[in-house]
Structure 1
Amino acid sequence: MNKLLAIAFTLLASTWSLSALSAEMMTKNEFKKVQSQYIEIGNISTSGESDASAAKAELSKKADKLGGDIYILSSGNTNNKIHGTAKVYKKK
């Protein structure tokens, strides 16, 4: 039983720590306050997603692959499917 609890705790802790490291979406107004702390490292996009949460997850995943800490949504479109683009930034 103790081993099972230890395994469950380890899995939960690793899931939490991985999500803590993923790139976060920031609004343009929030970014203006901290802009001097970041450098732009690229652009990302997503298309064909069925809902906003799926599009946000896809953008976050792509920002992570670029090594970004945050991303700022620069455009979005919802013609039947969600399409979005964002700029990715990394802390200096």
Structure 2
Amino acid sequence: MKRAAGIVVSLVIGALSFGVMAVQEVQKDKIKEMNLTKIGTISTSDTTAPMDARAELVKKAEELGGKYYVITSADQPGKDIRATADVYK
């Protein structure tokens, strides 16, 4: 029973890790050398932590079908954090 639970936990963690790594942030100067094609621009709603903003950008980039994103702007007016990124294939 413990072994089965361990296997299930490992599979769930592996699936979550794969999802997180599906879209990668790249630096703007790498776009040309990687021969990437821009497929859209995304932005976050108001978030309160940088990690939340990054997670929202990754989710939106995945929804667009992108493999990479480049953060083009970030701002922190007051308590909220806002970010914009270009998405590439």
Task: Find the aligned partners of 1:84 and 1:13 in 2 and give their Cα distance.
Answer: 28
Q: How many residues end up aligned between the 2 structures?
A: 87
TM-score (normalised: structure 2) = 0.83
Q: As a proportion of its length, which structure holds more strand? A: 1
Give the corresponding residue for 2:20.
19
Q: Does 1:87 align with 2:82?
A: no
1:79 Cα offset (Å): 0.7
TM-score normalised to structure 1 length: 0.81
Q: Deviations over 1:1-32 (max 9, x none)?
A: 222222222222222222232x1222223435
Q: Distance in 1 between matches of 2:19 and 2:82?
A: 26
Amino acid in the other structure paired with 1:27: Q
Identity of aligned residues (%): 30
RMSD: 1.6
Note the residue ranges of structure 2 that are not aligned, 5 or more in a row. Answer: none
Distance 1:47 1:32 in 2: 29
